Structures are given as C-alpha cells and as structure tokens.
C-alpha cells in the first residue's frame, strides 16, 4: 500500500495538478509548522509532531458534525485563489515530524482529497489567521476569524 504522500503525488499527477500541490522543502517545513502551532493552537512549537491538533485549537472555534458534503463546504469557505498550507497527517514514519506539508489552493486540495481514502488534514491561511480541519470523527472544525464565523453561518 502506498503512503499518504505517495497517494497525494499519484492523485495530483493523475489529475494533472502537480503544479498546484507543492510539497514544502525540508528546510522550510519545521518553521512553517511551528508558526501554525503557535498561531492556531495552544500547544508549544515543540509539539509539531503531536497528533490531533484539533483538540487544542485557539478560539474562536466552530464545528460542523459532519457536513453533508465536506468538499463543497471547504470550497464555500475558502476563496478559490487564496494560497494556503495543506497539512496532512503522515501514515508512516518520517525523518522529520508527523505531517506532510504542501503549498496549494482549495481546488487542488479538494480534488486530491476526493481521490484519497479518509485522512486527517488541516487547511491553514498562509498568514495563520485561520485554520480548518477535518478530524477522524468527520467533524469540520474552523479556528480563527473569519473562518469560524463563516462555518457557523453555513451550519445554521
């Protein structure tokens, strides 16, 4: 069975969107994940390998249990041209950390997610002002503004 990174690479290639899913270089990886941890969670930056960040998200936080169509909900929340970080939980040992980190936009992310088996992931604003994740309970969770308010409105 392929690792999640291999599955993402194969899906992006099959969909012709490799340029839209850029794996972050190892020399940038740690600093970006540390910034995400410090800005969007209550965990310390030394916890970058911790699982289940969604249990320690900074307020404001909104939840949707589970959305009827997660990918459509993501597309409704995130502007299609907004550059984001795509953080995917690794399913096999890595040299550094517990996640794969990509630069992308929401359209390629949704296309790849549709081609994958379920995976826990985070979509994070490049400036770290918000984060959206889907956890293993199929909850869609938003942290930070304006994303928490947007998810609350969609949920209503």
User: Domain residue spans in the chain?
Assistant: 4-155
pLDDT for 93: 62
Answer yes or no: is pLDDT of 46 > 90: no
Q: What percent of the chain has pLDDT over 70?
A: 96
Contacts of 97 (CB under 8 A, 6+ apart): 29, 30, 33, 48, 49, 90
Residue 12 is encoded by which pair of tokens? 């992006």
Give the count of beta carbons closer than 10 Å to the beta carbon of residue 127.
Answer: 9
pLDDT for 92: 64
Residue 69 is encoded by which pair of tokens? 């169509």
pLDDT for 113: 96
């Amino acid at each position: 069975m392929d690792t999640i990174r291999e599955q993402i690479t194969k899906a992006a290639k099959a969909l012709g969107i490799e340029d839209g899913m850029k794996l972050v270089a190892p020399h940038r990886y740690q600093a970006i994940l540390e910034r995400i941890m410090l800005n969007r969670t209550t965990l310390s930056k030394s916890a970058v390998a911790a699982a289940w960040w969604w249990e320690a998200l900074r307020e404001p936080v909104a939840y949707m249990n589970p959305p009827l169509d997660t990918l459509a909900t993501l597309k409704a929340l995130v502007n299609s041209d907004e550059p984001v970080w795509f953080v995917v939980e690794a399913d096999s040992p890595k040299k550094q950390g517990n996640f794969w980190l990509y630069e992308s936009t929401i359209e390629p992310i949704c296309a790849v997610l549709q081609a994958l088996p379920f995976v826990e992931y985070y979509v994070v604003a490049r400036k770290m002002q918000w984060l959206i994740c889907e956890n293993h309970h199929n909850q869609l969770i938003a942290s930070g503004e304006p994303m928490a308010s947007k998810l609350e409105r969609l949920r209503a």
